[in-house]
Structures are given as structure tokens and as C-alpha cells.
Amino acid sequence: MAATLLPPRETDAPSLAEVAVEFPDNFLLIELCGEFDRNLAELEQKLSVQILRRGNHLVAMGEKPAADEAVQVLRNLYARLEAGRPVTSGDIDRELRMPGSDTQDRASRDGHQIEMFKGGPVEIKTRKKVVEPRTEAQKAYVQNLFQNELAFGIGPAGTGKTYLAVAVGVSMFIDGLVDKIILSRPAVEAGEKLGYLPGDMKDKVDPYMQPLYDALNDFLPGKQLAKMMEEKVIEIAPLAFMRGRTLSHAFVVLDEAQNATTMQMKMFLTRLGEGSRMVITGDRSQVDLPRGMPSGLMDAERLLKSIDKISFNYFTSKDVVRHPLVAKIIEAYEADPQG
């Protein structure tokens, strides 16, 4: 049974309100509240309300718009639980950013995964977890990753550009839409010299590739990932190693593309082969190329923006899904007139 909104209760302060909602299934209510009521505590902190539990009722107390929003979020999350899906901190964050995203009618998901975008919430299914965009910009980005053979994701750190791209690549591989996954980055130093690192070339390059390993570990079991990398079904390599190759029937991601030169970007883009998908991600504010050397990402954006079937998705500090302070840090740097 769905949650039932109860009549509002009058308070002494006209601007304050108590909004109550009834949840008929006590087991789902326990999941909704979370361990030690941590889900309620997160909502209280983010909306500046107080949430009390009275039997199978939850009461939001605070400024009326905030109390109403808290109750609506609780109702949406309860509907998610009724549909057999878990509630995590990320789901709370998404509901606050995209109200009602989980309660829309779902499209049929039979057949090709592109069909899932007609009205329903967007999900990316991997072997270890289901990944869901948390902002409208992320949702549009994921849609374009499935629908276009070449897609760009441009924006600050922490907006999920690379994470979502790798998730889509794993999902498309599981569904048999591509035969392999190739992940690449320019091995450009951000203050340190590559030659100072110990070991052979793989040992020197691996630290630059670590964010790509981290993403893959989130989506695939460790033994399976190791086997796929051993069999070269998944490749992680510096951008320089892409020269001379034709990448067919592959999902290809170029991360940190702002650190590719114009010639490297042209070389990489022309590797696109039959049956492949290519994603380019980067942050124009974090170019580590030598002073005076143009970024290949900016040149590609300027030259390719008018070509059909190439999508460009942009992110801002509002799309940051890391610690809330990360968004504030990005905004501070963007606002700095000396930047």
C-alpha cells in the first residue's frame, strides 16, 4: 500500500508546519528510516527540518516548503522500496536534485537498452550494482552515451563524467553490444615527473590510470575483472599507445582529455572503428599541458560541435556528487577574478 499524506497540523508560528505521512508497511518503514535512522538524519540536515517517528507515521516539522519537500522525498523513497529497490544515501541525494525521478512510469526494457529512456528513470546495470544518475545533466549524459557513437562529457571534477561512462561501457559489454572495453588517459604529469616513479613502464603508468581501475572495481567482481584484463577484453592504456590502432566493436573512453594535444586528440578520434562507441571526458579548468600548448579537448569542441550524432554534455558545480565541499571549492575557484 502506498504512503498516505495526513491533514496538516497547525503550529504556533505561521511559517512553520507539521506535515505527517502514514506508511502502512512497518518493515519498509524501517528500511526507509535506515540504520539508526540515518536516512532521516540526512534529510533533516539537508532540508533543515526535524523528522519525528510516531508509530507508522513520520512527521516533518519546519518551514512549510521544506517540510512539504521532506515528506514528498519520503513518499518517493517508500515507493522505491515498494518496487523492491533499496534506498541509499545516493538515492536521497538524487530525490532532492530530481524530485519524483523514481516514481515515473517505466518504459519497457526488453531488447536494446536505449529503449529504457522513454519516460522512466535511467538505470545502468552492471555485475556488482545498478548505477543511477543523480542530476538532470547526468541523466542526459547517460542517454547520449547509449544513443550516440561519439559523446563528450565536459565539466569539473566530481560530476561523474568518467564513472558513468565506464558504467555504460560495462553495461553494453554485458549486453553483448560491444566486444571489449578500452580506457585511456594522457600520461601527463601534474607537477611530478613520470620518470621519477620506480619500476618499468607499466609501474610508471599505472598511477595515472588508477581512477579507471577504481571505477571498474565498482562494477565488476575482482576475479572476473582480472580475467578480462588478462584476456585483453578490458584494456587500460596511456593515450600514446593508441596510435596506429583501429578500435572496432569496442567501448572506448578517453579520460582527462583536456591534457591531450590537438594532434593526440585527432589521432584518438580517428581510431573509431565499426561498431564502436567513444566517450571523451575532460575538465577545461585543469589543463596540465605546457604553457602555450593548446588543449585538444577545446579544439575538438570547437571543430566538432556542429556534426550530427556527436553529443556534447556539460556539467557544473551543481552536478558534483562527491562531498558537498567539493562543489563549494569549485564555485570559489570559478568566481576568482585572478583565476
The C-alpha atoms of residue 267 and residue 273 are separated, in whole angstroms, by 13
The number of residues in the chain equals: 339
Highest mean pLDDT among 10-14, 46-50, 332-336: 46-50
The C-alpha atoms of residue 61 and residue 44 are separated, in whole angstroms, by 9
- Grid cell digits, residue 61: 516539522
Question: What's the chain's average pLDDT?
Answer: 83
Please state, in angstroms and as integers, the Cα–Cα distance from residue 260 to each residue in 48, 109, 256, following that order. 44, 37, 8
Inter-residue contact 228 to 234 (CB < 8 Å): yes
DSSP letter for each residue of 81-138: HHTT----HHHHHHHHHSTTTTSSPPPP-SSSGGGGGSSSPP-EE-SS-EE---SHHH
Residue with cell 545533466: 137
What mean pLDDT comes out for the span 160-171?
94
Inter-residue contact 124 to 167 (CB < 8 Å): yes
Q: Is 132 left (phi over 0), alpha (psi -120 to 50) or beta?
A: beta
Which pLDDT belongs to residue 110?
36
What mean pLDDT comes out for the span 231-250?
89
What mean pLDDT comes out for the span 310-335?
81
What mean pLDDT comes out for the span 34-63?
90
Lowest mean pLDDT among 56-60, 190-194, 222-226: 190-194
Give residue 153's pLDDT band: very low, low, confident or very high (50, 70, 90).
very high
For the chain, how are helix, strand and coil distributed in percent, rounded to 5? 45, 20, 40
Among residues 233, 255, 138, which one has the least CA distance to residue 180? 233
Which pLDDT belongs to residue 326?
72
Q: Where in the chain is CATH 3.40.50.300?
A: 113-335
Q: Report whether pLDDT(108) > 50.
A: no
Which pLDDT belongs to residue 336?
74
Among residues 210, 269, 225, 220, which one has the least CA distance to residue 245? 269
What mean pLDDT comes out for the span 302-328?
85
pLDDT tens for 245-278 read: 888 999 999 999 999 999 999 999 999 999 999 9
What topology does CATH give the domain 113-335?
Rossmann fold (3.40.50)
Which pLDDT belongs to residue 199?
56
Lowest mean pLDDT among 13-17, 27-31, 106-110, 229-233: 106-110
Q: Which residues pair with 54 in a beta bridge?
A: 57
- Phi, then psi, of 56 in degrees rounded to 5: -100, 20
Domain 4-97 CATH (choose: 1.10.10.10, 3.30.1370.10, 3.30.70.1230, 3.90.1260.10) = 3.30.1370.10
Which pLDDT belongs to residue 131?
87
- Phi, then psi, of 61 in degrees rounded to 5: -120, 130
- Grid cell digits, residue 162: 568518467
Give the sheet arrangement for strand 50-54, strand by strand.
Answer: 4-5, 16-22, 57-63, 50-54
Residue with cell 512553520: 16
What mean pLDDT comes out for the span 306-330?
83
Inter-residue contact 295 to 254 (CB < 8 Å): no
What angle (nearest 5°) sits at the alpha carbon of residue 317, between those of residues 189 and 72? 140
What is the number of alpha carbons within 13 Å of residue 199 lying toward its C-beta? 9
- Cα of first residue to Cα of last residue in the chain, in angstroms, is 54
Among residues 252, 153, 161, 163, which one has the least CA distance to residue 213? 163
Give residue 10's pLDDT band: very low, low, confident or very high (50, 70, 90).
low
Pairing of strands 310-314, 150-154: parallel
Q: Where in the chain is CATH 3.30.1370.10?
A: 4-97
